Amino acid sequence: QLQLQESGPGLVKPSETLSLTCSVSGGSISSGNYYWGWIRQPPGKGLDWIGSISYYGTTNFNSSLKSRVTLSVDTSKNQFSLKLSSVTAADTAVYYCASSRLFWGAFDIWGQGTMVTVSS
């Protein structure tokens, strides 16, 4: 059974870049059966998809964030990463990584989430 764990700074300054990593255990990130995604949840609000990536690098993004988001996969470390540039207070949220088996949006396994606050 796959397990996912997010890591990264809990505090980011406005205008800087938010960087998070999701470590995958219990399976290989190179498996062609999986896609890897990021979802966020502002405090007290609902879920918002950020983007997803395949292990070979194909990406899809939420159109509202596309210009600021970079996704990547590191097969040697069995990790995938999110970078969100030019952050503002509106980017304060719990960030989740999730895996999707067979279909891009399946999101069958989620990490525990990590809170990121944007503040000076």
Partner 1 sequence: DVVMTQSPLSLPVTLGQPASISCRSSQSLVYSDGNTYLNWFQQRPGQSPRRLIYEVSKRDSGVPDRFSGSGSGTDFTLKISRVEAEDVAAYYCMQYTHWPLTFGGGTKVEIK
* Binding residues among 17-76 for partner 1 as defined by CB under 8 A: 39, 46-49, 52, 60-63
Q: Which residues pair with 80 in a beta bridge?
A: 22, 73
Residues touching partner 1, count (CB under 8 A): 21
Residue number, 63 or 120, with CB nearest to partner 1: 63
Q: How far is the CB of 59 from partner 1 (least distance, A)?
A: 11
Residue number, 16 or 48, with CB nearest to partner 1: 48
Give yes or no for residue 107 binding partner 1 (CB under 8 A). yes
Q: How far is the CB of 105 from partner 1 (least distance, A)?
A: 2
**Contact indicator for 14, 108 with CB cutoff of 8 Å:** no
Instruction: Detail the DSSP E strand segments found in the chain.
Output: 3-7, 11-12, 18-25, 34-41, 48-54, 59-61, 69-74, 79-84, 93-101, 109-110, 114-118
